[in-house]
């Protein structure tokens, strides 16, 4: 007898129709990610696991290299519960570090390898990291970081060794030497007595990744082994990924984003696929990476724009079965443009779909993979999880004390998406108040408030309708949060009375930032003032007791002085839509003064 629908997604669980009992109620193993990978890869140890530029590794090599590194880290004093900060491109070595630290029971946090000195210092201080691993930095730079922090060792991966898997370069161990070469860690491992890896617990912390919220200010999301494994199992049970055609995936997203590290990379390895990593992803390398013939591409609307724009007209893309968009929502019009492009490149069967997720749910909340596509949606809510739509106007800066009193929205009614399941994050690091506001209990289940507005239909598909943050994704995959950019610029140069930043299309970077600036009365609007604004952005600024600085790629390429900013009628809110249209028109007329 067919179950009668109540009209409420949290009761009907429409995404779980036709799922098996174990798919609806999965048993999440209580062990670490490294142990799970060892178990799942037993039959394919000699198959390719990683393709990172000119460096390739089988599953056997991946596990052996990460184990060797774990012994090296132990020799340097890393222990269970330590937080190690990694500032590397999305390459093989960055991935190895996660598995090596996970084996110890230490926690990995990835930060932008473009991060400023002040930003790196803030992370080292926040986590009391014993080790920083960075990329192609000078001895002088590293000495300066050490002198200002409590970090014990700084390990640098040299640019000329990025494709080298030899970790046994000559090195005479000297405990007073605190600046190390990444490729010497194998020698340190020899000082440690090798032993069988005893699994760590599922509830142990494993990763700290980041979410930016509405202002662009990152919150550090603490994820346990169980959180990560639950997300992988929910996604696998929904999409049946083991049946997907193709053996190669490609991750076009930096590892510090949950979509890059977990949804793309760890998922690929647990599927038993070969993962193509893209550490040099930009407009000049797109063709190079697509020549590696991926079958499944994890990207974004920005990545799709680059593909359409930059790949040769005669390039055969028939091997691609799926293009999965995350990080930003892919519109139906955008997807149709992509379908036409792939058809011109000998591929009429590719599936192009949106996913939806947050760092707090390990970046997965719904999936377009393995389910019939509905192009206007973000795919199906994951089997095994519980979705709930609540009133969109409930304040998000105060805790929900009684979740059972919340009124639930029915099918096709818009509200805020909330999700329950073992993939819901443990906490925001050092911010208990924000953790309390982000989660609530209803009928014995812990729900996370995603901050994404939309509705669920009777088939279990989620359609997002709005988001709280203004951002764009550059050609390199980096996100630029516009509210955060204008906040820091406004605080850095004291002659600014008001400022609004918007995105403008760009031939090389897909989008750049343009700033509309209202100056104070005694400041002259000329080129010298633009130079002074830019100079003020080259040094950290004290904002509410915290030093902050824009990354190089966040700094606007065009400034325009105006007497006032347009406002939405009846409000004090800036009319960003009008400014975006103005910026686009001036760009098309050649009036955009782009600073290269």
The reported pLDDT for the residue numbered 596 is 43
Q: Is residue 263 a contact partner of residue 364, using CB atoms and an 8 Å limit?
A: yes
Distance of alpha carbon 208 from alpha carbon 109, whole angstroms:
5
Instruction: Decide: helix, strand or coil at residue 536.
Output: helix
Tokens of 324: 């999965």
Strand 274-277 with 248-251, pairing = parallel
Buried b (16+ CB within 10 A) or exposed e, 118-152: ebbbbbbeebebbbbbbbebeeeebeebbeebebe
Asked if the domains at 9-27+205-466 and 56-189 fall in one CATH topology, the answer is yes
DSSP 278: -
The reported pLDDT for the residue numbered 1 is 46
The reported pLDDT for the residue numbered 468 is 58
What angle (nearest 5°) sits at the alpha carbon of residue 494, between those of residues 488 and 496? 80
Return the closest-CA partner of residue 418 out of 377, 370, 456.
456
- Nearest 5°: phi and psi at 317? -115, 25
Strand segments, DSSP code E, in 263-367 are 274-277, 296-299, 322-325, 351-354, 366-367
The reported pLDDT for the residue numbered 3 is 65
Return the closest-CA partner of residue 209 out of 438, 396, 427.
427
Superfamily of domain 472-588: ANL, C-terminal domain (3.30.300.30)
DSSP per position, 398-425:
S--S-GGGPPPP-TT--EEEEEESTTS-
Place of tokens 């289940």: 445
Q: Is residue 403 a contact partner of residue 447, using CB atoms and an 8 Å limit?
A: yes
Distance of alpha carbon 140 from alpha carbon 240, whole angstroms:
50
- Nearest 5°: phi and psi at 407? -85, 125
Strand 558-561 with 510-519, pairing = parallel
Q: pTM (2 decimals)?
A: 0.83
The reported pLDDT for the residue numbered 197 is 76
Distance of alpha carbon 452 from alpha carbon 465, whole angstroms:
8
Distance of alpha carbon 533 from alpha carbon 278, whole angstroms:
34
Tokens of 539: 């040094």
The architecture that CATH gives domain 9-27+205-466 is 3-Layer(aba) Sandwich (3.40)
Place of tokens 């002074």: 532
Q: Is residue 216 a contact partner of residue 485, using CB atoms and an 8 Å limit?
A: yes
The reported pLDDT for the residue numbered 215 is 52
Place of tokens 């000195």: 117
Q: Is residue 233 a contact partner of residue 241, using CB atoms and an 8 Å limit?
A: no
The reported pLDDT for the residue numbered 94 is 96
Domain boundaries, the chain: 9-27+205-466, 56-189, 472-588
One pLDDT digit (tens) per residue for the chain, 596 residues: 456 778 999 999 999 998 999 999 999 999 999 999 999 999 889 999 999 999 999 999 999 999 999 999 999 999 999 999 999 999 999 999 999 999 999 999 999 888 888 889 999 999 999 999 999 999 999 999 999 999 999 999 999 999 998 998 877 666 567 899 999 999 898 888 887 778 999 999 999 998 754 455 678 999 999 999 999 999 989 988 665 656 899 999 888 888 889 888 998 898 889 999 999 988 899 999 999 999 999 998 888 888 999 999 999 999 999 998 887 777 788 888 999 999 999 999 999 988 888 899 998 899 888 888 888 899 999 999 999 999 988 988 899 999 999 999 999 999 999 999 999 999 999 999 999 999 999 999 999 999 889 999 999 999 988 765 677 878 777 788 888 899 899 989 999 989 999 988 887 777 889 999 999 988 999 999 999 999 999 888 888 778 888 888 889 999 999 998 998 877 777 888 899 899 988 888 776 555 54
Which secondary structure element, helix H or strand E, spans residue 261, and what is its range? Answer: none
What angle (nearest 5°) sits at the alpha carbon of residue 507, between those of residues 502 and 513? 20
Of the candidate CATH numbers 3.40.640.10, 3.10.180.10, 3.40.50.980, 3.10.129.10, the domain formed by 56-189 belongs to 3.40.50.980
Decide: residue 214, CB within 10 A, 0-12 exposed, 13-18 middle, 19+ buried.
middle
Q: How far is CA 369 from CA 50, 259, 352, 458, in A?
A: 22, 15, 9, 18
Distance of alpha carbon 195 from alpha carbon 25, whole angstroms:
35
Instruction: Decide: helix, strand or coil at residue 181.
Output: strand
Return the closest-CA partner of residue 9 out of 509, 321, 374, 387.
387
Buried b (16+ CB within 10 A) or exposed e, 392-423: beeebeeebeebeebebbbbeebbbbbbbbbb
Half-sphere exposure of 191 (CA within 13 A, CB side): 16
Distance of alpha carbon 385 from alpha carbon 423, whole angstroms:
9
């Amino acid at each position: 007898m067919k179950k009668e629908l109540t009209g409420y997604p949290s009761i009907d669980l429409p995404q779980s129709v036709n799922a098996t009992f174990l798919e609806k109620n999965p048993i999440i193993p209580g062990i670490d990610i490294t142990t799970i990978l060892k178990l799942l890869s037993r039959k394919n140890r000699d198959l390719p696991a990683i393709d990172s530029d000119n460096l390739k590794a089988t599953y056997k090599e991946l596990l052996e290299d990460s184990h060797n590194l774990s012994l090296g880290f132990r020799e340097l004093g890393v222990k269970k519960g330590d937080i190690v900060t990694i500032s590397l491109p999305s390459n093989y070595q960055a991935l190895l570090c996660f598995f090596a630290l996970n084996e110890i029971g230490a926690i990995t946090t990835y930060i932008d390898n473009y991060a400023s000195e002040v930003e790196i210092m803030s992370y080292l201080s926040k986590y009391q990291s014993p080790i920083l691993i960075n990329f192609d930095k000078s001895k002088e730079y590293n000495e300066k970081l050490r002198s200002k922090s409590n970090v014990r060792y700084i390990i640098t991966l040299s640019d000329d060794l990025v494709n080298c898997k030899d970790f046994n370069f000559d090195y005479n161990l000297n405990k007073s030497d605190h600046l190390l070469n990444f490729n010497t860690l194998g020698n340190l491992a020899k000082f440690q007595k090798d032993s069988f890896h005893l699994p760590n617990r599922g509830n142990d912390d494993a990763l700290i990744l980041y979410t930016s919220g509405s202002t662009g200010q990152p919150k550090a999301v603490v994820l346990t082994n169980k959180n990560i494994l639950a997300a992988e199992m929910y996604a696998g049970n929904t999409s049946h990924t083991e049946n997907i055609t193709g053996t190669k995936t490609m991750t076009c997203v930096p590892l510090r984003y949950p979509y890059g590290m977990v949804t793309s990379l760890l998922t690929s390895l647990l599927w038993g696929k070969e993962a193509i990593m893209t550490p040099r992803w930009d407009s000049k390398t797109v063709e190079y990476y697509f020549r590696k013939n991926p079958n499944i591409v994890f990207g974004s609307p920005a990545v799709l724009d680059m593909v359409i724009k930059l790949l040769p007209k005669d390039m055969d893309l028939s091997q691609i079965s799926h293009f999965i968009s995350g990080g930003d929502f892919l519109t139906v019009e955008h997807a149709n443009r992509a379908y036409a492009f792939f058809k011109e490149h000998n591929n009429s069967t590719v599936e192009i779909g949106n996913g939806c997720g947050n760092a707090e749910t390990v970046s997965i909340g719904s999936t377009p993979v393995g389910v019939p596509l509905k192009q206007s949606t973000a795919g199906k809510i994951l089997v095994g999880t519980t979705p709930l739509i609540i009133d969109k106007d409930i304040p998000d800066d105060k805790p929900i004390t009684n979740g059972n009193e919340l009124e639930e929205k029915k099918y096709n009614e818009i509200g805020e998406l909330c999700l329950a399941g073992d993939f819901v994050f443990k906490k925001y690091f050092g911010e208990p108040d924000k953790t309390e506001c982000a989660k609530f209990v209803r009928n014995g289940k812990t729900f996370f408030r995603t901050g994404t507005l939309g509705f669920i239909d009777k088939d279990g598909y989620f359609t997002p309708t709005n988001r709280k943050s203004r951002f764009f994704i550059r050609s390199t995959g980096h996100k630029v949060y516009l509210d955060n950019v204008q906040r820091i610029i406004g605080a850095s140069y004291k002659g600014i009375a008001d400022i609004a930043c918007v995105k403008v299309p760009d031939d090389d970077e897909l989008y750049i930032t343009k700033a509309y600036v209202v100056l104070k009365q005694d400041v002259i609007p000329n080129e010298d003032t633009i130079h002074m604004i830019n100079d003020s952005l080259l040094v950290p600024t004290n904002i509410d007791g915290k030093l902050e600085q824009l990354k190089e790629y966040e700094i606007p390429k065009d400034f325009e002085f105006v007497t006032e900013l347009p406002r939405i009628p009846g409000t004090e809110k800036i009319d960003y839509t009008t400014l975006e249209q103005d910026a686009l028109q001036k760009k098309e007329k050649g009036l955009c003064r782009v600073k290269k």
